[in-house]
Structure 1
């Protein structure tokens, strides 16, 4: 999976990137939300195709998915643009990227704020390897759903 890790702390970026690389991910990094937005917006937005749209070949559906990040891990507290601000910008632009908010605050209210901004899930720091694996599994399931829908394939058929 192609993953974007966004955190202003170079050590956190490095550690998360290494863990994700060990799990087979291709990682890219950004040190703030604005740089992350530039990278994300340069890729096509994920979407589920409708049944009325002409199907893609399976090869084209895979290529479309490979052109974007499967998952974006966004730290909340960053200079220039926070993770919350980045998430809001993505959702206001109609983007359906799989966004995982990452926060050092374990308070439910902080996590709810991230979810209300449009994050799909929230992880608290320090991020554990098991949590990353769970998020990658969820990202892969979403990715396969979009590929099957784009090619008009029903799974297990």
Structure 2
């Protein structure tokens, strides 16, 4: 699968686990991306309010202060266009549905597989 994007993407990695964040960044570096990090849901919402040019959020569902689903709901109040991909460590029955209901565009299980993430990015940005 081709990893080439037609423009530089602004990606927000919302992840409180540094190892997971590192692995996601390693995959994203193959694309033409500018990467910003947030470690909790409150930070994600604030960054999205400050920067309307963010194209994609990889949103960990389990984060401190405000979880990823609540952060998604808050973001959708002021930004309906941004692509939000929920990421969960333990994909249980109903997780995908809860993520979509909260306003996420997609759901992906951790550990994130490179091919799956590439497919999602290409679906929305190529």
TM-score scaled by structure 2? 0.86
- Which 4+ runs in 1 deviate beyond 4 A? none
Query: Is residue 112 of structure 2 the alignment partner of residue 130 of structure 1?
Result: no
CA displacement, residues 9-67 of structure 1 (integer Å, 9 cap, x when unaligned): 011111101210123322111101111111111123xxxxxxxxxxxxxxxxxxxxxxx
1:91 pairs, out of 48, 73, 76, with 76
Rg larger for: 1
Q: Which residue pairs with 1:106 in the alignment?
A: 91
Structure 2 residue ranges without an equivalent (≥5): 1-8
Shift of 1:77: 0.5
Q: Which residue pairs with 2:35 in the alignment?
A: 27
TM-score scaled by structure 1? 0.70
Q: Which residue pairs with 1:148 in the alignment?
A: none
1:14 pairs, out of 15, 22, 41, with 22
Contact 1:70 1:139 in 2 (8 A): no
CA RMSD of aligned residues (A): 1.4
Point out the structure with the larger strand share: 2
Q: Which residue pairs with 1:117 in the alignment?
A: 102
Structure 1 residue ranges without an equivalent (≥5): 45-67, 142-157
Query: Is residue 46 of structure 2 the alignment partner of residue 38 of structure 1?
Result: yes
Point out the structure with the larger helix share: 1
Contact 1:71 1:139 in 2 (8 A): no
Task: Report the Cα distance in structure 1 between the residues aligned to 2:28 and 2:34, rounded to whole angstroms.
Answer: 8
- CA gap of 1:38–1:133, structure 2 versus 1, over 3 A, is same
